[in-house]
Amino acid sequence: MRGPHAQKTGTSTEHEKVTVHDNRTTIGVVRPSKETIDVSEDNSFKEKLYSFDKVLTEESTQQDVYDVTGADLVGRVFQGVNGCVLCYGHTSSGKTYTLLGPEQAARGKADPAVSEGLVPRTLVHMFAVKERLEQADPSRTVDIHMLVYEVYMEKVYDLFSASTGKSLDIRGPDKRGSFYPHGITNHYVVRAEAAMTVLRAAARSRREQRTKRNQRSSRSHMIIQMDVIQTKTVQWEASKQPLVRQDRAASLFMVDLAGSETEDDAALSDLTRAEGRKIRLSLYTLKRVVAALSDRKGRKHVPYR
Ligand SMILES: Nc1ncnc2c1ncn2[C@@H]1O[C@H](COP(=O)(O)OP(=O)(O)OP(=O)(O)O)[C@@H](O)[C@H]1O
Ligand SMILES: [Mg+2]
């Protein structure tokens, strides 16, 4: 959790103390509530330890976030492996900021080198790799396509044509075994800056709402999908005809989830309350899917729907 409101929203309250240990892979939580009283020999409250691959704190920079997440994912997508980043957390904890950087109004004042989010950093890296690969081997081309959509009240909407107000059906699996929103706009992007311009325009159509915790709280889950398709043109010896062969294709999904919040946080209108319930239900389903996928006992059923 990196947002400036982290103290208010639950990483550390007067009842709960969260410490990031020096190795930056472990956090310790001391929770002296009545239900979990757990006292060690010297009568202090026992610290519960949780281990992660990497822990970032509210002092971590946008570059730190990129270094431990995006940098590795870009390399893998070019090897043909799909990747996914999920920004999950309490409302106003900084998910949208982490992915996209400052809001439009604050962009002019911020230094992009410091404030740019994970998505623009990823795009710059992706296009640098594309250029390097194409220069090293002229028979290779790398096409990058961008799709941006949101899941709002359990329906999928294309953020590149939000004005239609039409939801999209999910179809699949396609040739690559993937599921996709049918009829979605697929932008072929040629430069990182151009990709960010279209992305920011799409993100402005996303459903947001002013809530108690956040002036611009995201009320939908936004998915930024980048398809990287590498093709290599090879000459077929016998015919001397150029033969196009698809080499590799993989997708990177960057997901900005709507914030989890209490009914009280959301209680502004009936719609906000209904949105809050759908958000909590979908985050709960996501939690069950992640738990099933990471279950080392090999539970078979993954509750995707
Ligand atoms: N690391 C940061 N540095 C500076 N400002 C930040 C940082 N993280 C978040 N903010 C600011 O805090 C506010 C809340 O952040 P943000 O909208 O990203 O939260 P969120 O987790 O997306 O919330 P929600 O779930 O309600 O959409 C915004 O005004 C954002 O600009
Ligand atoms: Mg948000």
CATH number at residue 260: 3.40.850.10
- Domain check: are 245 and 124 in the same one? yes
Q: How many domains are contained in the chain?
A: 2
CA 97/CA 6 separation, integer angstroms: 13
301 located within any domain? no
The answer on 243 and 135 residing in a single domain is yes
Domain assignment of residue 39, given as a range: 1-58
Q: Count of CB atoms within 10 A of residue 135's CB?
A: 9
Beta bridge partners of 251: 227
Residue that is last in its domain, among 27, 58, 89: 58
Which residues of the chain fall below pLDDT 70? Answer: 1-15, 32-45, 237-240, 246, 262-269, 299
Q: Identify whether residues 24 and 102 lie together within a single domain.
A: no
Helix axes 118-136, 70-78, angle to 10 degrees: 30
Q: Is residue 26 part of a domain?
A: yes
Sign of CA dihedral 109, 114, 115, 117: positive
31 domain-assigned: yes
Residues 145 and 219 occupy one common structural domain: yes
Q: Is 97 in the pocket of ligand 1 (CB under 6 A)?
A: yes
Percent above pLDDT 90 for the chain: 46
What pLDDT, on the 0 to 100 scale, is given for residue 10?
A: 42
Q: Which of 58, 75, 98 is the last residue of a domain?
A: 58
Based on the fold, state whether residues 12 and 151 are members of the same structural domain: no
| SS3 track for 76-98 | HHHCCCCEEEEECCECCCCHHHH
Does 240 lie in the same domain as 204?
Answer: yes
Which residue has 């151009």 as its token pair?
194
Q: Is the C-beta atom of 120 inside 6 A of ligand 1?
A: no
Same domain assignment for residues 42 and 68: no
Amino acid 213: pLDDT: 78
> What's the pLDDT score for residue 1?
42
For residue 300, tell me if it sits in a domain. Answer: no
What is the reported pLDDT for 85? 94
Considering the domain architecture, whether residues 208 and 280 belong to the same structural domain is answered as: yes
Report the candidate in 297, 298, 261, 300 with the shortest Cα–Cα distance to residue 281. Answer: 261
102 alpha carbon – ligand 1 mean position (Å) = 8
The phi and psi torsions of 21 (rounded to 5 degrees) equal -80, 160
What's the pTM? 0.87
**Judgement on whether residues 42 and 67 belong to the same structural domain of the protein:** no
With residue 140 as reference, give the H or E element that holds it. Answer: strand 140-152
76 and 54 belong to one structural domain: no
Same domain, 54 and 82: no
Let me know whether 102 and 185 are in one domain: yes
Of the candidates 17, 37, 58, which is a domain's last residue?
A: 58
Give the ligand at the shortest distance from the Cα of 105.
1
Strands 241-256 and 83-87: parallel
214 lines ligand 1 (CB under 6 A): yes
Substitution candidate for ligand 1 out of 56, 87, 91, 96 with most atoms within 8 A of CB: 96
CB 92 near ligand 1, within 6 Å? yes
Question: Of the ligands numbered here, which is closest to the C-alpha atom of 5?
Answer: 1
Q: Is 258 in the pocket of ligand 1 (CB under 6 A)?
A: yes
The pLDDT value recorded for residue 3 is 42
Residue 9 pLDDT: 40
Closest atom of ligand 1 to CA, residue 218: 27
